[in-house]
Amino acid sequence: MREVFEMSRKQTRTYKEITEQLGTSEETVKKQVSGALKVLRVKLGVLIYILILIHY
């Protein structure tokens, strides 16, 4: 999941380019990027919550 996400975001590759390089389906790439974004949202939410608690 991390490799696909980094290829998508850091290397700005399209899903099709990632699919061709890794030999997976485009649907798999989409699901892995989506899953990585969900994990990041959760972690970011927890971090923001902690920062708010520390601030007050």
- pLDDT one-digit tens code per residue, 28-45: 999 999 999 999 999 999
Percent over 90 (pLDDT), the chain: 95
Flag whether pLDDT at 55 surpasses 90.
no
What integer is the mean pLDDT of 6-30?
97
Q: How do the domains of the chain map onto residue ranges? A: 2-55
Alpha-carbon distances of 51 from 14, 40, 41, 48, 54, rounded to whole Å: 35, 16, 15, 5, 5
The two tokens of residue 31 are 């699901």
